[in-house]
């Protein structure tokens, strides 16, 4: 009884979506969210719990599991599921209903210092997300005091490279295929113009 209780406490949980499943429509439909959050994201969390049960990683914080398993070939399955669990929570928070628009002043100033303009930053974010061959992520990060746009493949993320992520866009096909089919540029421009959560990025900058 006490064992069962302890185990349940250490399980990683699928965090609730920060908005209703139809709140990003038409940028991202409830149909996409139902699969992306309800199936894909949930599967990463469930798989992680199964993979770490009874191992040294059971009860460890998600970020710690990620940094402890990064780059270790024999821990790739744990890393992939832990990183994808983390990436997806970060992605949901990187979006919001009626997003886009102007970043908050402190972030805007930082963007202008690194990219010249918010438009240039958005263009680089879209171009980088487009240039990711196959599955992966595009990120706005803080790296050595400057803002940068970077991309990562599959489950990989800036945390393992000493960079602080501010926001991300999922460019795995499951993120856009139901709504946009192969039109990744249309997904990216809709997300960047209408759903990106600059407030979340600004909070991560603090």
Task: Report the interface residues with Mn ion, using CB under 5 A.
Answer: 170, 172
Strands (E), 91-197: 136-143, 146-153, 164-170
Task: Give me the helix-helix angle, 118-131 and 184-194, nearest 10°.
Answer: 150
| Least gap, CB of 87 to Mn ion (angstroms) | 7
Closest chain position to Mn ion (CB): 170
| Least gap, CB of 57 to Mn ion (angstroms) | 22
| Least gap, CB of 203 to Mn ion (angstroms) | 22
Give the residue among 202, 181, 180 at the shortest CA–CA distance from 191. Answer: 180
Burial 15-48 (b: 16+ CB within 10 A, else e): eebeeebebbeebbeeebbeebbeeebeebbebb
Q: Which is nearer to Mn ion, 124 or 173 (CB)?
A: 173
Q: Are 169 and 91 in contact (CB under 8 A)?
A: yes
Q: 34 Cβ partners below 8 Å, 6+ apart?
A: 21
Q: Which is nearer to Mn ion, 172 or 180 (CB)?
A: 172
Tokens encoding 179: 């709504």
Q: Which is nearer to Mn ion, 57 or 172 (CB)?
A: 172
| Least gap, CB of 29 to Mn ion (angstroms) | 15
Q: Which is nearer to Mn ion, 156 or 170 (CB)?
A: 170
Q: Which is nearer to Mn ion, 142 or 169 (CB)?
A: 169
| Least gap, CB of 36 to Mn ion (angstroms) | 6
């Amino acid at each position: 009884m006490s064992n069962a209780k302890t185990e349940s406490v250490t399980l990683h949980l699928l965090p609730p979506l920060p908005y209703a499943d139809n709140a990003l429509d038409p940028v991202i439909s409830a149909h996409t969210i139902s699969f992306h959050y309800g199936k894909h994201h949930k599967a990463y969390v469930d798989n992680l719990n199964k993979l770490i049960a009874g191992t040294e990683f059971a009860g460890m914080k998600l970020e710690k599991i990620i940094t402890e398993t990064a780059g270790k070939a024999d821990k790739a399955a744990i890393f992939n599921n832990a990183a994808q669990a983390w990436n997806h929570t970060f992605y949901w928070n990187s979006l919001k209903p009626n997003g886009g628009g102007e970043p908050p002043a402190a972030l805007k100033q930082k963007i202008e210092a690194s990219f010249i303009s918010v438009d240039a930053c958005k263009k680089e974010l879209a171009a980088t997300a487009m240039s990711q061959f196959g599955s992966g992520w595009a990120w706005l990060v803080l790296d050595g005091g400057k803002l940068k746009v970077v991309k990562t493949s599959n489950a990989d993320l800036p945390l393992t490279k000493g960079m602080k992520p501010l926001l991300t866009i999922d460019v795995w096909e499951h993120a856009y295929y139901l709504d946009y089919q192969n039109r990744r540029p249309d997904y990216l421009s809709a997300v960047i113009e209408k759903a990106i959560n600059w407030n979340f990025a600004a909070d991560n900058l603090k």
